Amino acid sequence: MSKLFTPIALGPLQLENRIAIAPMCQYSADGNGMATDWHTIHLGHLALSGAGLLIIEATAVTQEGRISPDDLGLWSDAHAEALKPAIESMRRYSPIKIAIQLGHAGRKASSEVPWQGGANLPVDNPRGWQTVAPSALPHAEGETVPVALDKEGLARIKEGFAACARRAHALGLDAIELHGAHGYLLHQFMSPLSNRRTDEYGGSLENRIRFPLEVFKAVRDAVPAPMVVGMRISATDWVEGGWDLEQSLVLTRELEKLGCQFIHVSSGGLSPQQKIPLGPGYQIDFAARIKAETSMPTIGVGLITEPLQAETIIQSGQADMVALARAILYDPRWPWHAAAELGAQVSAPPQYWRSQPHQLKNLFGPTKLGQR
């Protein structure tokens, strides 16, 4: 029996299978962070995929925290209203559970959209703005030098995360994932390569993880217990002297104490000096180590493209769930095809039941189709 298609619980959240759709930036908000029709279409068709969990893309908690000028935001009630139709549409037609990733880009903010090159937008560019970070260190030579955050700035951003969490709960979402990966603000605090502070938020590992843990606690305290809160991390910077797996284990154990209910294990993104040995499932060993040495449910991600590959990861205990990104953009019915290959069943809307190939009579479970 396929274990990939068995139920799993993340805290009180019950998922019907172990496939998650990873948050994927669309750079398609209206220019002030407002969701558009694109989000209704994009999220809607992924909600029909048969996956157990869909995580909405990195959503900025403050205006300066956007990665690009066209990023999704949730820093006001108006942003929540703009996103509401997409969520209501998914709820109407799909049983999928829905999370949202909340983040702040820090020094990697003010960047052009990928299909326009993705380069840093300087402050004097009409689409650019002044960035902030733990320390006044640019992401790469020649890019905007960020302003080092003072105590007031830290408090403002922490409250931004909490306020967005409250809006996410009001929208009826099932879970929140804090973005602590890929070189964005929370990751910037963790890594000694980007954090050169001399106050209580810099220096030792205990100090460098202090702000991410404070943000997590603020979010956890902002929403009721039934709403699940987890975190995505980069397990390593892939740079000597940077953030690494041993430090990630310390962070995970501290998150456990604060009530974190899952850890989504990625890597890299902090430094242009990174050297990543890309290959199928190249990050799964990090998830496996965290799963083995903590009690935190783990989501593994990274070039997972084949059903048998995903099944092996779950069967072998390397991760509790797998997350798909580019693979499910390319094939939005990936869970259907995986269930067919693995001899499992998957949820599908009744409007699509007639698409079930004749030789796969039980792919969608027992169905009753009339004929006209």
Active site residues per annotation? 184
* Token pair listed for 126: 């009409």
DSSP-assigned letter for residue 73: B
* Token pair listed for 77: 């009630």
Instruction: State phi, psi for 305 to the nearest 5 degrees.
Output: -130, -20
Strand partners, 300: 265, 322
Count of positions (residues) in the chain: 372
Among the residues of the chain, which ranges form H helices? 37-47, 77-93, 151-170, 185-190, 205-208, 210-222, 245-257, 284-293, 307-315, 326-330, 334-342
C-alpha separations of 56 from 254, 262, 352 in Å: 25, 16, 24
Instruction: Please name the residue that has the structure tokens 């302003």.
Output: 147
Q: 3-class SS at 287? A: helix
Phi-psi region of 323 (alpha: psi -120 to 50; beta: other; left: phi over 0): beta
With beta carbons less than 8 A apart as the criterion, state whether 362 and 345 touch. yes
Instruction: Please name the residue that has the structure tokens 């991390």.
Output: 233
